[in-house]
Amino acid sequence: MQDQELLRYSRHILLDEIGIEGQDKLNAAHALVIGAGGLGSPAAMYLACAGVGHITLVDPDTVDLTNLQRQIAHTTARVGQPKVDSAAATLRALNPEIRITPLQASADAASLQALVAQADVVLDCCDNFRTRQAVNAACVQLCKPLVSGAAIRFDGQVSVYDPRDTASPCYACAFPPDEHPEETQCSTMGVFAPLVGVIGAVQAAEALKLLMGLGPSLTGRLLMLNGRAMEWTEVRLPRQPHCSVCGH
């Protein structure tokens, strides 16, 4: 680690639980962030600032004026640009020492196989149920830890699904693919701006802990935030032995 890096990451290195060894793990790590919007913005920005060596961003959309109320990786001047390019510019400005790979594409089953295989941790920051299930299936198949977040109106939730832990449930254990819940979109339901920042920051924290081997994680626990009352609720998530994705 160069002197500039020692200085940049000094406040992490000062933590006994992290030190130079933990920071080296981050520098050598590859994080895959699915979604460069409300959740993906703060999550990716914290990963970049913390020195995760390679961050891949996947999102098919372009920056819209309505995004700017909460999607802090983007600016007014970048309206109309691909979100992944806008977010990549922000991350490079925050930390020019790391590698950013922007991919303007939808995360489908075929592309996820290659993307997840190359990653050390996956952050699900998307906003639709089908993509969440596809990301989860790829993480289970390739045995990669998944940090999943969601936010709508004043309500948020976050958890970790880690197939490396045989007792850990997967996303489909908690939210079965065949239930087909009604899709909720920010464009029709609205979302409280700071809520995505809170959930996205928790996702980043869990991802960094996973990369450095710091525990315990949110594996097997679903944190739910009521943003109006500012109250957290925790629900234990058991592994479902007959789960269609991870069951045996």
Domain boundaries, the chain: 3-236
What's the CA gap between 123 and 210, in Å, rounded?
A: 11
pLDDT attached to residue 180: 66
- pLDDT average, residue stretch 56-80: 97
> Order of strands, edge to edge, in the sheet holding 146-152?
99-103, 54-58, 30-34, 121-124, 146-152, 155-161, 221-226, 231-236
Q: What's the mean per-residue pLDDT of the chain?
A: 95
pLDDT attached to residue 2: 87
Kindly tell me if the per-residue pLDDT of 53 is higher than 80.
Answer: yes
Contact 109, 137 (CB under 8 A): yes
186 confidence band (pLDDT: 50, 70, 90): low
What stretches of the chain show up as alpha helix (H) in DSSP?
3-8, 10-13, 19-27, 40-50, 83-94, 109-118, 129-142, 171-174, 186-189, 193-212
- pLDDT average, residue stretch 46-69: 97
pLDDT tens across 80-133, in order? 999 999 999 999 999 999 999 999 999 998 899 999 999 999 999 998 999 999
Kindly tell me if the per-residue pLDDT of 158 is higher than 80.
Answer: yes
- pLDDT average, residue stretch 227-246: 96
pLDDT attached to residue 159: 98
Burial of 189 (0-12, 13-18, 19+ CB in 10 A): exposed
- pLDDT average, residue stretch 69-88: 98
pLDDT attached to residue 189: 82
Percent of the chain with pLDDT over 70: 96
Instruction: Kindly list the distances between the CA atom of residue 56 and the CA atoms of 87, 157, 172, 239, in Å, as whole numbers in the listed order.
Output: 11, 23, 24, 29
23 confidence band (pLDDT: 50, 70, 90): very high
Q: Reduce the DSSP state of residue 219 to 3 states and report it.
A: strand
- pLDDT average, residue stretch 23-45: 98
pLDDT attached to residue 179: 76
* N-terminal to C-terminal alpha carbon distance within the chain: 44
> In CATH, which of 3.40.50.720, 3.65.10.10, 3.30.200.20, 1.20.140.10 is domain 3-236?
3.40.50.720
pLDDT attached to residue 247: 86
Strand partners, 53: none
Kindly tell me if the per-residue pLDDT of 167 is higher than 80.
Answer: yes
